Chains A and B, each alone.
Chain A
């Protein structure tokens, strides 16, 4: 019966987001590590006989000659360039990788900072020459700290939402303040929403823009943008202050709940448990199992970062 039905145009309501990178994700040929060009074995042999194997095998020279020549290797794994920012939220919301739970991640990071001898204080305001954000952990005596950048921590150019891009293509021009508000309006607090409504009702365009900018400034006061993150990083040698921006959206710290075989097996076993409470515990354990590689990566990255800070005299 089904087979006899005529073909039809039928919009797809839901489509699992593929896991391979999109065009606007960080360049997979370079991130998280450079991927050598896959020359065939015979080519490599032929090149070896001509003494040019090394340059061929590196492969990255072909990916982007200028960049490879200009960029030195990053000093540690937590540079802003490797953070996965700016982040583009998925428009579909399914198939997106799982992110480390912020509470768990901050506990891990705090432990590592303390083990390295730093007295971490939470939620410390950092204000430096036009920069303003709140660091999740900071040792004011040694001037070492971190931001675990989740949704509640980023602003401005630290993320690049698809809805703002769509809007930017439209023919109706927006002021800078309007564009900024459009980007973050979904995340405004109740009071900020009220202020926004009031601002949008103003007839004087100059006044309206001023009010919108005020809301933006208040929204961004505790949050960090890419510009600020890069400025902190650039000023670190001179100021002898090191604040790592650890992004929740960094692919190294992401994972798939249905990831590897072991996790899938654990999840499948957990789902079979009839008792709801016990099932919930087992599912949680399976999720932690799935996240274990991401947590290991986080630990390794923070340790390497702290080693580097120590070598800088921090």
Chain B
């Protein structure tokens, strides 16, 4: 008699496939290194797919998340389809309740209708990187020839949001344009985005003056965020919502964190394994220090364990901090990006958290004091994301139906042939 399979654990294994180092953009803050044409060979992709399945099985993870990254992953669409199909087949063969999700981070320039349809058919959730206000987008995210890209992305935005009104957009704040972050977010909102993630370029040097300008942008953004929420808009703005979450839902427990290199890892085009996207860089000798193994031999357990312990260890410099449990200083990647060390809190992260947290909390206080139902349900109703998503989809159908109705009403009535050859409009 065969033994029943062990029950799955409520855990996620997240594997990022770096499909290529090449990219059609030259973003000023990119941390993925030189844009050389090193793509992941098909054989490596197959081995990597088998490897991530094995990782999910060995951890008995209920959820396997696969993220496509680069360079620009849409330079290798066939590889994306292949990996999606392979993994979908593998999970189906298991005949257990393991959830498989696909995500992609793209600059969007290659997101044609055909590619979008193929991705949607495979259930790939697309997150587009856009720095918002066209002047900022063109300055920070030019193409390989140095030309601006905002104009070319107009149709892409419309196409993407038509297919998925809840598509996520990621917007990066840099020292040079810190004071325009609020304008960029509002611009993205005006284009139809309702899920906006903001982040800093942690690899660049920020001065206090830069952070003051960023603080001004956050304050203006907070006023706008409160106003929109009170107006009934269901929007997600990561800089505020994630901070509010740490109080409303509680700080991220250790089991919920990525646990660098353990529950989340990156696979370089070569098949080498890294703790996170930030460490892959050019996947050359300079990055060797962070290699944790490869998809054929697996993880070097000691190295991985040592890295996780080092990154997770309490940081003395944060001792006694009143907001330690809500702070993002646990993230080894951003610490490393700005200091070169995973075991030390980045001063930039600390200063940023000290600016951002009171602003986010003040916005939340205002919404709470106003008894705003959107605020209450967004942060305290676990069904909110699902209901909001359903609402967006229903609204899209209702609006499309209205458009069709309008088109029918204004169209010429059909003509039929009457007696004696006369044409009659019905």
Interface string of B302-321 (1 = CB under 8 A from A): 00000000000000011111
Contacts of B391 in A (CB 8 A): 39-40, 43
Most chain A Cβ neighbours within 10 Å, of B212, B319, B380: B380
- Contacts across chains A and B counted by CB atoms under 8 Å: 118
Contact A9 B347 (CB under 8 A): yes
Is B324 in the interface zone, CB < 8 Å from A? yes
The residue that A23 contacts in the complex, of B247, B354, B374, B377, with Cβ under 8 A, is: B247
**B255 within 8 A of partner (CB):** no
* Closest-CB distance, B273 to chain A (whole angstroms): 30
In the complex formed, the residue of B with least CB distance to A22 is B247
B 196-217 binary contact with A (CB < 8 Å = 1; else 0)? 0000000000111101100000
Q: What 1/0 flags go to B374-393 for Cβ under 8 Å of A?
A: 11110111010001000100
Known: A8-B347, A11-B322, A36-B373. A29 touches B387 (CB 8 A): no
Q: Does B350 lie at the interface of the complex (its beta carbon under 8 Å from any beta carbon of A)?
A: yes
B144 at the interface (CB under 8 A from A): no
Assess whether A28 is interfacial by the CB under 8 Å rule: yes
Cβ-based interface call for B248 (8 A): yes
Residue of A nearest to B345 (CB): A9
> Which residues of chain B (346-375) have a CB below 8 Å from chain A?
346-348, 350-351, 354, 357-358, 361, 364-365, 367-369, 371, 373-375
Q: Which residue of B lies closest to A13 (CB)?
A: B322
Which residues on B sit within 8 Å (CB–CB) of A35? 371, 373, 376-377
A41: nearest chain-B partner, CB-CB: B232
User: How distant is the Cα of A5 from the Cα of B324 in the complex, in angstroms?
Assistant: 23
Q: Which residues of A contact B365 (CB under 8 A)?
A: 18-20
B103 to chain A, nearest CB (A): 26
Q: Which residues of A contact B354 (CB under 8 A)?
A: 10, 12
Give Cα A22 to B124, complex, Å: 34
Given the complex, which residues of B lie within 8 Å of A28, measured CB to CB?
376, 380
Chain B contributes a number of interface residues (CB within 8 A of A) equal to 51
Chain A proximity of B232: nearest CB distance (Å) = 6
Interface readout for A16-44 with B: 1 if CB under 8 Å, 0 if not?
A: 00111111100111000001111111110
Contact of A40 with B322 at beta-carbon distance under 8 Å, contacts A12-B354, A35-B376, A62-B383 already known: no
CA distance A8 to B350 in the complex (A): 7
When distances are taken between beta carbons in the complex, the residues of chain A under 8 Å from B320 are: 11, 13
Closest to B362 in A: A18
| A61 and chain B: residue at smallest CB distance | B383
Give every chain A residue within 8 A of B207 (Cβ-Cβ). 3-4, 7
Contacting pair A12 B377 (CB below 8 A):
no
Q: Which of A11, A19, A29, A39 contacts B381 (CB 8 A)?
A: A29
Q: Is the CB of B247 within 8 A of A18?
A: yes
B33 interface residue (CB < 8 Å to A): no
| Residue B416 CB within 8 A of the other chain | no
Q: B206 contacts A7, CB within 8 Å?
A: yes
Q: In the complex, what residue of chain B is closest to A14 when comparing beta carbons?
A: B322
A contacts with B: majority SS: loop
User: Which of chain A's residues has its CB closest to B368's CB?
Assistant: A20
Known: A28-B376, A35-B376, A40-B395. A11 touches B248 (CB 8 A): no
Q: Which B residues are CB-close (under 8 A) to A23?
A: 247-250
Q: Given the complex, which residues of B lie within 8 Å of A20, measured CB to CB?
A: 244, 247-248, 361, 364-365, 367-368, 375, 379
Q: Whose C-beta in chain A lies nearest to the C-beta of B346?
A: A9
Give A43 to B387 CA distance when docked, in angstroms: 12
B403 within 8 A of A: no
A15 / chain B contacts, CB cutoff of 8 Å: 322-323, 357-358
A21–B377 CB distance below 8 A: no
Given contacts A28-B380, A37-B381, contact A19 B368 (CB under 8 A): yes
A3 touches B319 (CB 8 A): no
Known contacts A20-B368, A21-B248; decide if A3 and B395 are in contact (CB<8 Å).
no
Flag whether A179 is at the interface (Cβ < 8 A).
no
Asked whether, in the complex, the Cβ of B348 is within 8 Å of the Cβ of A7, the reply is yes
How far is the CB of A261 from the nearest CB of chain B, in Å?
A: 12
Cβ of B232 and Cβ of A38 under 8 Å apart? Answer: yes
B394 close to chain A: CB less than 8 A:
yes
A18 touches B364 (CB 8 A): yes
Tell me which of A3, A5, A20, A39 has the highest count of chain B C-beta atoms within 10 A of its own C-beta: A20
In the complex, whether A46 has a CB less than 8 A from a CB of chain B is yes
* B398 part of interface (Cβ distance < 8 Å): yes
Closest to B367 in A: A20
* Chain B residues with CB under 8 A of A274: none
> Known contacts A18-B247, A18-B364, A46-B394; is A11 also within 8 Å of B324 by CB?
yes
CA distance A74 to B320 in the complex (A): 43
Inter-chain contacts of A5 with B (CB < 8 A): 208
Is there contact, CB below 8 Å, between A42 and B395?
yes
Determine if A29 and B380 form an interchain contact, defined as CB atoms under 8 angstroms apart.
yes
A285 within 8 A of B: no
Determine whether the beta carbon of B208 is less than 8 Å from that of A2. yes
By CB atoms of chain A within 10 A, which of B244, B345, B354 has the most?
Answer: B354
List A contacts of B209 (CB < 8 A).
3
With contact pairs A27-B380, A43-B395 given, residues A7 and B373 touching in the complex (Cβ less than 8 Å) = no
Measured CA separation A6–B391 after assembly (Å): 47
- Tell me which residues across on chain A come within 8 A of B398, comparing CB atoms: 42-43, 46
Q: Are B323 and A12 in contact (CB under 8 A)?
A: yes
What chain A residues lie within 8 Å of B234 (beta carbons)?
38, 40
The 3 A-B pairs with the shortest beta carbon distances in the complex, nearest first, are A11-B321, A20-B368, A7-B347
A–B Cβ pairs within 8 angstroms, 28 of them: A2-B208, A7-B348, A10-B354, A13-B320, A13-B322, A14-B322, A15-B322, A18-B364, A20-B247, A20-B364, A21-B368, A21-B380, A23-B247, A23-B250, A28-B380, A29-B376, A29-B380, A35-B371, A37-B381, A38-B232, A40-B232, A40-B391, A43-B394, A43-B398, A46-B398, A59-B373, A63-B377, A63-B381
Write the residues of chain A forming the contact surface with B, with a CB cutoff of 8 angstroms: 2-15, 18-24, 27-29, 35-43, 46, 59, 62-63, 92
Given contacts A21-B248, A42-B395, 18 further A-B contacts (CB under 8 A): A3-B207, A3-B209, A4-B207, A9-B347, A11-B322, A18-B361, A19-B368, A20-B244, A20-B361, A20-B365, A20-B367, A21-B368, A21-B380, A23-B248, A38-B232, A38-B374, A43-B398, A92-B322
